[in-house]
Structure 1
Amino acid sequence: MNGGGCARVQRIAVIGAGAAGLCAARHLACSKKFKPTVFEGTDRVGGTWVYTDRTEKDENGYPVHSSMYNDLITNLPKQVMAFPEFPFPDSLPSFLHHTNVLGYLENYSHHFDLLKYIKFHNYVEEIKVIPNTENSDNFPRWEVKTFDWKQNQHESHVFDGIMICNGHYSVPSFPSIEGMSEFEGEILHSHHFRTSKQYADKTVVLFGGHASGIDIALQLCPVAKEVVLSHKGNLLSPFPDNLRQAPVISKITGNGVIFKDGTSSNCDAIMFCTGYKYTFPFLKDPIIKSVEKNRVSPLYKHLIHIHYPNLSFIGICHTVCPFPQFRCQVLYAMGVLDGSVILPSTEEMLLEEENDYQKRVKQGLPFRGSHILANDQWAYNDELADLSGHERIPDSVRLLYNLVQERRAYNLQTYKQDEFAMASNGHYYRSGV
């Protein structure tokens, strides 16, 4: 199926009013070719940036979406995080407290008058394809079933396209390790972490050495007796005296853990910083999507459903600079919807998806790393921008992103104290040095 026959597409459902959903609503509304309706289960915008003390269920009995903890500071500077053409305020530091990011998204929604498109309190219960019997070249329509918990009302809506923007930092992924049921202390996931106070004078083992594991470990050090960061490899940055690195956990005992090298540690708590699952509970038909070992398929360019191109998944990619990429993805998906972007044949898209996956296998990435972009994100973003006829993300964003990654590798305790300013050549530099 290609982009032909899309002229009738007008009504677009956007699932979620987090950063990706707000970005989708803004550009859909600005184009005047589409009428967006954003379905948001809570009573406010912000998605994962909305902090709550709750960790399991919200006030309505639904799973808590946010994994935000009380003292989180962004690991990217505001100059990199911002949506193009909508910068963060100059008064804010480069690295932001999570409340500043939420405020930014609220300001974004007000500036572009997006609230009128959002149906708050509406959980999406099911999205079903409506087979098109008129013309096989046209995209199908979609039925969206919702529940408004404030009005206690179920509704059904029909749309010409769907943009799914429900995020992927809300459903914890736990590994299976021998002995987990035997441990007498606390076992939790980073999704449930809110404050370090409860771990005062305790020994905590964190399993996972990526961004959240490292950051939470450093949050715990000022109060904990000892923090053990269990992960593959060896981080080169200096750490506090009460933090030590250890290999991955091979077994859990009643009072602690045994690591892969045979060493062990008694501990009071084990925290899994092992990532999250892609989940779309409202897509009940297995024909629409497949999520196997955290690989969402079939997707063209990690974005467009290959068999239903008027269904897109914004924000699937991992290890990226998210907000600017959301814009690239939204504009490309809009091009598919209005026919200005012509897709390859179904067979060609399936082949490209498989080739992309096999490339990752050769790079040594695990199956669950199917959507990790990392250094490939910039070529990916440029390709989407070029194909949809829009401006690329400024090169200064890539350069600053890379500078921060270099600083972070050797200065995990201090890199968030950096401040950046723009030089006359349009590139950022560390100010004050």
Structure 2
Amino acid sequence: TMVRRVAVVGAGVSGLAATKCCLEEGLEPTCFERSEDIGGLWRYVEQVEEGTASIYRTVFTNSCKEMMCYPDFPFPDDHPNYMHNTRLQQYIRDYAQHFDLLRHIRFKTLVTKIKKCPDFCARGQWEVVTERDGKEEVAVFDAVMICSGHHVYPNLTHFPGIENFKGCYFHSREYKEPEKFRGKKVLVVGLGNSGCDIAVELSNVAAQVYLSSRSGSWVMSRVWEHGYPWDMVVITRFRTWLDNILPRAVSDWLYVRNMNQIFKHENFGLMPVNRTSRKEPVLNDDLPGRIACGVVVIKPDVKEFRETSVLFQDGTAQDDVDVVIFATGYTYSYPFIEDESIIKSRDDEVTLYKGILPPQLEKPTMAVIGLVQSLGAIIPTVDLQCRWAIKVFQGLRTLPSVSKMMEDIDEKMGKKLKWYGTSTTLQTNYITYMDELASAIGAKPSVLKLLVTDPRLALEVVFGPCSPYQFRLTGPGRWSGARRAIFTQWDRTLRATRTREAPAAPSAFPSLAVLGVLFLPLLLLLAAL
């Protein structure tokens, strides 16, 4: 049977990509959104709403604009490289308007149940139950794309003695702004992006901030080598290729050296327990400075809470703690899928082919979008995931047998453990993953072909940043502006910060190499004496 009607759950960045990709392929999407607006995680609201993601007022993006845009919809030229959530939310609105997506979205509509139709084995259809204004509605769809995100359900690790703690404690999703913590002693538990952001922000008003970490983490700045955006320097095909061909010991050594180039992590108590793990680093421009100023103190894992104090694993204790914020991340849950084993088909772990498709389904008509995590940005990732999933729905992409899909999942799991250590999220290497999806649908740029037909572009594709536009250069979904966008990406990046005409720095002659050559005879002479 032909897939025509598609249900999309959620209107965040993934749901909008899904809706747009469906329209692009001539399908009929209906997107259900429980809140009254698009944007998902990026929609800032004062009050934490049940069942939706929540951000604090000062959240900025961790990926720069050239690396995180929808591949056929670059950010306006005047936008900064990293932007405040309100600016990103405006961009998301512009995207929805530009591709006329809003009329396909049903707001204030909660998906309460998704289950297989009785004749699923033959037709692969789903029954979707929704609720709006207390009224229930049932509809049948040919396919379902789940885009409900994974920053909704707080992961609340139980710490011994927390019930005796007299101060106030809550999960970071309830944190909005720092003012009410003025003059307080605050402990933040968890060294992820949120934990570090919140600790740094509180350090401006709190009497003291303690930041507790179980396993440490690499901390990177958004402003990387020579002041370029970190991801435009780090996420390149050349680097990925190098990482894959070098002996593991060499690539590990280079990785640690690279991560330690600004400051030695061990001197700041931040060094990860597993140094060579490629687990996502934290992006924070201010943390080392705040630690240096003594306003943030790094502590080990919490052993137990007492009435007003906290005991740490290394035996130290901290008295008079007023507030504890648990920045301990999130777990994912799909309460609306009647049979959750469809997604968690093994050991209660998310088991998905290519990180998208439940492998055990008789008909491949369900896709989970946006659950993988990598160094790359989420928007280009979900855009490509949607394009791949729709090709599968249309039967234009034949899938291997269930056992082959499970083998592929196991092999990826093994690689994930090797490179990222044990982590529950579906961590993966951005470029390798994107290329895998792109080549499956015929959208991966062929470097060899480009070397012959467009050598300048080939060099930019290999050595330049692996920006989203690369995945709209060829094949289905090709965008005519992609080539130009790649050639002008650095101009847009520099224009954002070159806001004052400044003289260029003199070239660094005599360079160190020249000086070295000049001084070599002198050194040899001294050694001989």
TM-score, reference length from structure 1:
0.84
- What is the alpha-carbon root mean square deviation over aligned residues? 2.4
Q: Match for residue 191 of structure 1?
A: 173
Q: Match for residue 262 of structure 1?
A: 315
Q: Match for residue 179 of structure 1?
A: 161
Q: Match for residue 159 of structure 1?
A: 141
Shift of 1:99: 0.5
Inter-partner Cα distance in structure 2 for 1:367 and 1:293: 15
Change (3 A) 1:389 1:424: closer
Of the candidates 319, 322, 326, which is equivalent to residue 382 of structure 2? 326
Change (3 A) 1:291 1:307: closer
Q: Secondary structure at the match of 1:110?
A: helix
Q: Which has the higher helix share?
A: 2
The answer to whether the 8 Å contact 1:172/1:189 transfers is: yes
Change (3 A) 1:334 1:423: closer
Of the candidates 218, 221, 226, which is equivalent to residue 200 of structure 2? 218
Q: Match for residue 372 of structure 1?
A: 427
Inter-partner Cα distance in structure 2 for 1:124 and 1:425: 42
Runs (4 or more) in structure 1 with deviation over 6 Å come to 291-294
Shift of 1:391: 4.5
Of the candidates 122, 134, 148, which is equivalent to residue 132 of structure 2? 148
Amino acid at match of 2:366: L
Q: Match for residue 68 of structure 1?
A: 55
Shift of 1:365: 2.1
Shift of 1:20: 0.2
Inter-partner Cα distance in structure 2 for 1:324 and 1:382: 12
Shift of 1:424: 5.7
Instruction: Map 1:62-141 to 2 at 5 A.
Output: 63-132=50-119, 138-141=122-125
Inter-partner Cα distance in structure 2 for 1:210 and 1:296: 22
Inter-partner Cα distance in structure 1 for 2:129 and 2:467: 44
1:211-235 CA-partner distances (Å, limit 9, x unpaired): 1111111111111111111112333
Inter-partner Cα distance in structure 2 for 1:203 and 1:379: 44
Q: Match for residue 11 of structure 2?
A: 17
The answer to whether the 8 Å contact 1:52/1:66 transfers is: no
Q: Match for residue 317 of structure 1?
A: 372
Of the candidates 326, 329, 334, which is equivalent to residue 272 of structure 1? 326
Shift of 1:390: 2.0
Shift of 1:372: 1.6
Inter-partner Cα distance in structure 1 for 2:71 and 2:288: 35
Aligned residues: 390
1:299-350 CA-partner distances (Å, limit 9, x unpaired): 1011111122210100001244100001110000011011111111111001
Say whether 1:41 aligns with 2:96.
no
Q: Match for residue 407 of structure 1?
A: none
Of the candidates 243, 250, 268, which is equivalent to residue 296 of structure 2? 243
Report sequence identity in percent: 31
Shift of 1:362: 3.8
Inter-partner Cα distance in structure 1 for 2:29 and 2:373: 26
Shift of 1:35: 0.6
Change (3 A) 1:427 1:392: farther
Change (3 A) 1:294 1:70: farther
Q: Secondary structure at the match of 1:52?
A: coil
Shift of 1:399: 7.7
The answer to whether the 8 Å contact 2:341/2:348 transfers is: no
Q: Match for residue 417 of structure 1?
A: none
Amino acid at match of 2:59: L
Stretches of structure 2 that go unaligned for 5 or more consecutive residues are 217-268, 272-286, 447-460, 469-484, 499-504, 506-529
Amino acid at match of 1:132: D
Stretches of structure 1 that go unaligned for 5 or more consecutive residues are 1-6, 401-421
Shift of 1:256: 2.5
Inter-partner Cα distance in structure 1 for 2:150 and 2:169: 22
The answer to whether the 8 Å contact 1:314/1:326 transfers is: yes
Inter-partner Cα distance in structure 2 for 1:425 and 1:52: 35
Shift of 1:295: 3.2
Inter-partner Cα distance in structure 2 for 1:263 and 1:295: 36
Amino acid at match of 1:235: L
The answer to whether the 8 Å contact 2:66/2:489 transfers is: no
Inter-partner Cα distance in structure 1 for 2:411 and 2:204: 47
Q: Which structure: larger Rg?
A: 2
Inter-partner Cα distance in structure 2 for 1:291 and 1:206: 35
Inter-partner Cα distance in structure 2 for 1:19 and 1:392: 24
Inter-partner Cα distance in structure 2 for 1:379 and 1:118: 33
Inter-partner Cα distance in structure 1 for 2:348 and 2:313: 25
1:371-413 CA-partner distances (Å, limit 9, x unpaired): 122xx1210011101101225696644489xxxxxxxxxxxxx
Inter-partner Cα distance in structure 2 for 1:307 and 1:365: 27
Q: Match for residue 413 of structure 1?
A: none
Inter-partner Cα distance in structure 1 for 2:350 and 2:147: 14
Q: Match for residue 335 of structure 1?
A: 391
Q: Secondary structure at the match of 1:295?
A: coil
Q: Which has the higher strand share?
A: 1
Shift of 1:292: 7.8
Inter-partner Cα distance in structure 2 for 1:197 and 1:64: 26
Change (3 A) 1:423 1:13: closer
Q: Match for residue 349 of structure 2?
A: 295
